[in-house]
Structure 1
Amino acid sequence: PVMKVFKYFYSNRGPVIDYENQELVHFFFNELSKYVKKHRCLYLHIDPYLPYQYLNHDGEITGNAGNDWFFDKMSNLGFEHTGFHKGFDPVLQIRYHSVLDLKDKTADDIIKNMDGLRKRNTKKVKKNGVKVRYLSEEELPIFRSFMEDTSESKAFADRDDKFYYNRLKYYKDRVLVPLAYINFDEYIKELNEERDILNKDLNKALKDIEKRP
């Protein structure tokens, strides 16, 4: 509520509709405007998950997503574009997304297309026994503790607990909270096995040297 009379409406990363159907887009937002006006809306903020441009690793524009029409459509319906913001904002959604197309690609294909640093990091975590699992709602405090430490060390404002729990509540299994961890029992076992193999190779090499000094 604003001034106890008016209301602020925000469609977080939405609305979720078929944006390829321009007739539907016009109808939906036209009716949405009528709906919020009936409910004393002072400000309606939409933030659709709709690509505008494609960029590479270096931030260079590689193509247009073909959605320029959406800006004209929304302007004709009375909406105002607030601009392309940059950086972190506690209210607005992030502008850039790093998206990897996995269609028809194997794990090896993905690694081959990585740059040198990402390849080394991937091989390193695999060798060090790093695994990934997804946290349940009951385990969300684990994630929150990491976020609190990170927001403090990196000096940015984090969302409150309600923000994250609401997403789990309403989006259910569409929300994944990954946790990278090391199972030290398994890791130590793998290291011991690797050590045994290296010792065998070393002993064999020493014997070969004795035979052919």
Structure 2
Amino acid sequence: MYSYKVGISAEEHDLFVENHPQANLLQSSKWAQIKDSWGNERIGVYQDNQLVAAAAILIKPLPLGFTMFYIPRGPIMDYSNQDLVAFVIKSLKELGRKHRAIFIKIDPSLHLKANPVNEETEENPLTLSQVEHLTSLGLDWSGRTMQLAETIQPRFQANLYATDYRLEHLPKKIRQAIRTAKNKGVSISFGHLELVDDFAKLMAKTEDRKHIHLRNKDYYTKLLTTYGDQAYITMATLDLDEKENLLKAALTKSENDLAKYSQMANQSRIKNLQAEIQRLQKELDSIKQARTQGNRVLPLAATLSINFGKTSENLYAGMDEAYRSYNAPLLTWYETAQHAFDMGIDWQNMGGIENDLSGGLYQFKSKLNPVIEEFVGEFNIPVNPLLYKLAMLAYDWRKKLRSKH
């Protein structure tokens, strides 16, 4: 016998979600504080007074007093228990009617596939049966969408697991790139609000480089203050004084070597030294230029992550393109996950990747040998069937207009 309760406490909700196999930051009670332009509600489903399902619901106001519900990476429940699933859907629809919801969008943490990079597996038959059951209950499935932008949350993500995360497991080329970053003087620190100014500046540079709109300092500050010690920034920096001294020493040595080899008429060695001197001088000029801008420690790359239970989400990442040769982003992402695992986290989500596994997000994140996880995607639960059909027609029309521009 099931029953449900609306407005369960944040503590009860989070305790249940944190300890569930489908635990996800987006189903934490605090996420509603981040998405404060939406309303929110929490619902719990009980069997014999035992909490067996929960959903943190975001409620978006629509014109004429209507709303839509959105449950990112939820509801949290055992989707193989068909009676429970049917009761949860029924309960959500009842709550939706009270809020004049036209439809409820859910995005369950169900994997069609989960396989290492460059490996292929069959779709999970259990997940397929769960999708079939959801559609039999009248849910409208988005299907196997092909574009990253077709769903609110990415349908494909790159996940790192603590049990398999070792530097020696990475490809030789990637291990060398990480060593190169360290040898070039890139250092890593972990912090909180004291790093948010530099983090926001790196994000702004990333926006300019990619011609996209991300977030601002106020939003990053909200994430850090809302989640407190569950949140952290990983920052890669370069000590300019130290780097300038190292470059000057290397330049002097190469110039002395060139003078020595010039007398020996070793043309091959001479050409290599001339190229090395040119590279060192260019790098030294760049460091001197950075110093004239008042910098002593130069931020190169950074990430912002939040831990929830035994899970972690790498939410935002930025870099300074002018110093790409230092390999700081790769070192930063590697250390970001390692820091989470050092704190007892089981897995860290590196974020979404292109559905066809061919774009820049995939190319970069795949370097760290993640598990590529394919989610089933979104389902809509019609609450007002007539208005739902009209809303979907309007949505499809708007999407077609966007695709023409």
Note whether the superposition's TM-score is higher than 0.5. yes
Tell me the residue number matched to 1:33: 93
Tell me the residue number matched to 2:188: 132
SS of the aligned residue for 1:49 comes to coil
Which amino acid letter does the alignment assign opposite residue 46 of structure 1? I
User: Is the contact between residue 66 and residue 102 of structure 2 (CA under 8 Å) also seen in structure 1?
Assistant: yes
Structure 2 residue 153 is matched with structure 1 residue 74: no
User: Is the contact between residue 13 and residue 46 of structure 1 (CA under 8 Å) also seen in structure 2?
Assistant: yes
Deviations 1:43-90 (A, max 9, x none): 3222233322124424x5234444223312321332211133344439
- Out of 121-130 and 168-177, give the one that drifted further: 168-177
Give the 3 Å change call, closer, same or farther, for CA 33–101 of structure 1 in structure 2.
same
Which amino acid letter does the alignment assign opposite residue 112 of structure 1? E
Identity of aligned residues (%): 24
Structure 2 residue 171 is matched with structure 1 residue 115: yes
Which amino acid letter does the alignment assign opposite residue 99 of structure 1? N
Structure 1 position 102, deviation (Å): 1.9
Which of 144, 150, 156 is the aligned partner of 2:206?
A: 150
Tell me the residue number matched to 2:271: none
User: Is the contact between residue 131 and residue 182 of structure 1 (CA under 8 Å) also seen in structure 2?
Assistant: yes
Give the 3 Å change call, closer, same or farther, for CA 14–119 of structure 1 in structure 2.
same
Higher RCO (Cα < 8 Å, 6 or more apart)? 2
User: Is the contact between residue 55 and residue 63 of structure 1 (CA under 8 Å) also seen in structure 2?
Assistant: no
SS of the aligned residue for 1:117 comes to helix
1:90-101 to 2 correspondence within 5 Å? 92-101=152-161
Deviations 1:133-184 (A, max 9, x none): 3442464343333233223322334256676555446555444432222345
Which amino acid letter does the alignment assign opposite residue 62 of structure 1? T
Which amino acid letter does the alignment assign opposite residue 136 of structure 1? H
Structure 1 position 25, deviation (Å): 3.7
Structure 1 position 101, deviation (Å): 2.4
SS of the aligned residue for 1:71 comes to helix
Which amino acid letter does the alignment assign opposite residue 121 of structure 1? A
Aligned mates of 2:78, 2:228 — CA distance in 1:
24
Tell me the residue number matched to 2:120: 61
Give the 3 Å change call, closer, same or farther, for CA 41–183 of structure 1 in structure 2.
same
Tell me the residue number matched to 1:6: 66
Which amino acid letter does the alignment assign opposite residue 205 of structure 2? D
Deviations 1:4-32 (A, max 9, x none): 311122222333x2446625444333312
Which of 23, 39, 47 is the aligned partner of 2:107?
A: 47
User: Is the contact between residue 80 and residue 130 of structure 2 (CA under 8 Å) also seen in structure 1?
Assistant: no
Gapped regions of structure 2 (runs ≥ 5): 1-60, 251-405
User: Is the contact between residue 30 and residue 77 of structure 1 (CA under 8 Å) also seen in structure 2?
Assistant: no
Aligned mates of 2:222, 2:132 — CA distance in 1:
33
Aligned mates of 1:37, 1:88 — CA distance in 2:
31
- Out of 36-45 and 134-143, give the one that drifted further: 134-143
Instruction: Give the alignment's TM-score, normalised by structure 1.
Output: 0.67
Give the 3 Å change call, closer, same or farther, for CA 63–111 of structure 1 in structure 2.
farther
Tell me the residue number matched to 1:211: none
Tell me the residue number matched to 1:204: none
Give the 3 Å change call, closer, same or farther, for CA 163–6 of structure 1 in structure 2.
farther
Aligned residues: 188
User: Is the contact between residue 87 and residue 94 of structure 1 (CA under 8 Å) also seen in structure 2?
Assistant: no
Structure 2 residue 233 is matched with structure 1 residue 177: yes
Give the 3 Å change call, closer, same or farther, for CA 40–139 of structure 1 in structure 2.
farther
User: Is the contact between residue 10 and residue 45 of structure 1 (CA under 8 Å) also seen in structure 2?
Assistant: yes
Structure 2 residue 152 is matched with structure 1 residue 84: no
Aligned mates of 2:194, 2:103 — CA distance in 1:
35
User: Is the contact between residue 185 and residue 238 of structure 2 (CA under 8 Å) also seen in structure 1?
Assistant: yes
Give the 3 Å change call, closer, same or farther, for CA 94–159 of structure 1 in structure 2.
farther
User: Is the contact between residue 79 and residue 130 of structure 2 (CA under 8 Å) also seen in structure 1?
Assistant: no
User: Is the contact between residue 7 and residue 42 of structure 1 (CA under 8 Å) also seen in structure 2?
Assistant: yes
Aligned mates of 1:33, 1:167 — CA distance in 2:
31
Aligned mates of 1:161, 1:117 — CA distance in 2:
35
